[in-house]
Amino acid sequence: MPLQPAINGPGESRLQLILRIVVVVICRLVLSTARRFAYPFAPVLSRGLGVPLTSITSLIAVNWATSILGIFFGPLADRFGYRKMMVLGLVMLTVGMFAGGFFPLYGVIMITLFLAGLGKIVFDPAVQAYVSERVPYNRRATAIGFLEISWAGSTLLGIPLIALLIDNAGWRSPFFAMGAIGFAGIIALIVFFPPDEQSISRPRRSLSVKKVLPIMVQDKASLGALAYVFFFSAAIDNLFVVYGAWLEKAFNVSIVALGIATGVIGIAELVGEILVATVSDRFGLKRVVMIGVTICIVTYGLLPFAGQSLLPALAGLFIHFLIFEFTIISSLALCTELQPEMRATALSGFFAAAGLGRILGVLIGGPIWLAGGIVAIGLVSAGITALALISLCWGLDGWRKG
């Protein structure tokens, strides 16, 4: 069933909406690649900059820390318009990438990755609010699921292309490439998207960050969703930060095999996003999110038992990350309707809480792994996910789409 705008803006047709979604998917593919490429190419960046590998992991932490700052930009999107913030996000990416390409210094690369992360945090809530405003709730998961394909695409398409660029044109070449695509994205947004003054949006333009935060905290459904995504994200990164060490220790795998495992996770993410686009709307977002979180609790607990050999371990990771991606994207689509008059603000809060959860997961994953191995990781992640389910059930108790 094709996407249909909830309300037709001035001169806006279904074809124009689809074209604009394609444009932003490409833009998000570049933003997601910019956020993730430092993980596999940390040794390359380390050699190119002449710094220890630990210095590059610090850059990755700075990149993720930008998630917290997103809460300050969501109200600006609701107040001043979604297209303006989408353009701002790409400007941050473009400036940062060109700076990193032209000035290959550690301090500049830190600013580059900071701007890339911040650009994504500014861009994502604005585009998801823009699309959610134009797609009816009963087709919302289809639209959001299609948007989120860009996240898996960054692993399956973006990272391999960057590898080819580095191999053929040197470690600085991806910065120039992503900067150029970001600049093209800015032009495309200006050409294909109408000015915000012609938007169909009816945001609460008078709300500031200071006024918005109490509204989010005092709303039971929003508060429950924030607690849910915090715990849910902490649980996945508790596993994600050590899954490579688990495979390496248990099966003595090579770097190539670890790369294959990362590819397996990327495919799982893609399948999960496709399932969101094709299944979630049919069964209801609230129902599928509850079921997905429950299954994740089970798969965390069973994952250690899949480690008898490499193939079952990879299969267990595939199933778990598929369910996780399906659930988190479905819950993202659900959250687009919790605060319909300030969608970008609500989504920024969602991403900020997820970022905080990921930081917690990264911090606890190492010590838990050292203390009890994959069994402890699975049990702790299952327990944290149970807290996510409790938070979600409490927040959505009695909630109905208005």
Residues 6+ apart with CB under 8 A from 11: 194
> Where does 14-158 have alpha helices with state H?
14-36, 42-49, 53-80, 82-102, 106-134, 140-153
Whether the per-residue pLDDT at 200 is higher than 60: the answer is no
Q: According to the model, what pLDDT value does residue 401 have?
A: 66
pLDDT band at 197 (very low <50, low <70, confident <90, very high): low
Q: Is the pLDDT of residue 115 over 80?
A: yes
Whether 391 shows a pLDDT value over 90: the answer reads yes
| Residue 23 in this model has a pLDDT that exceeds 60 | yes
Q: Can you tell me the mean pLDDT for 183-200?
A: 81
Give tens-digit pLDDT for 56-112.
767 777 777 787 787 788 778 877 788 899 999 999 999 999 999 999 999 999 999
Q: 141: closest CA among 11, 329, 309, 293?
A: 329
The segment with the largest mean pLDDT, out of 158-162, 182-186, 277-281, 368-372, is 182-186
pLDDT of res. 161: 87
Q: Is the pLDDT of residue 204 over 60?
A: no
Q: Is the pLDDT of residue 352 over 90?
A: no
User: Residue-wise over 226-240: b if at least 16 C-beta within 10 A, else e?
Assistant: bbbbbbbbbbbbbbb
pLDDT tens digits for 159-191? Answer: 888 888 888 888 999 999 999 999 999 999 998
pLDDT at residue 209, as a whole number: 60
Record the pTM: 0.78
pLDDT for 10 beyond 80: no
- Cα distance between residue 387 and residue 359, in whole Å: 17
Asked if pLDDT for residue 6 goes beyond 70, the answer is: no
Q: What domains sit in the chain, N to C, each tagged with a CATH number?
A: 12-206 (1.20.1250.20), 210-402 (1.20.1250.20)
277 pLDDT above the threshold of 70: yes
> What rounded mean pLDDT belongs to the chain?
84
pLDDT of residue 2: 41
Structure confidence at residue 198 as a pLDDT band (50, 70, 90): low
Using 50, 70 and 90 to split pLDDT, how confident is the model at 205? very low
Q: How confident is the model at residue 256 (pLDDT cuts 50, 70, 90)?
A: low
Q: How far apart are the first and last CA of the chain?
A: 23
Residue 103: exposure state from Cβ atoms within 10 A (0-12, 13-18, ≥19): middle
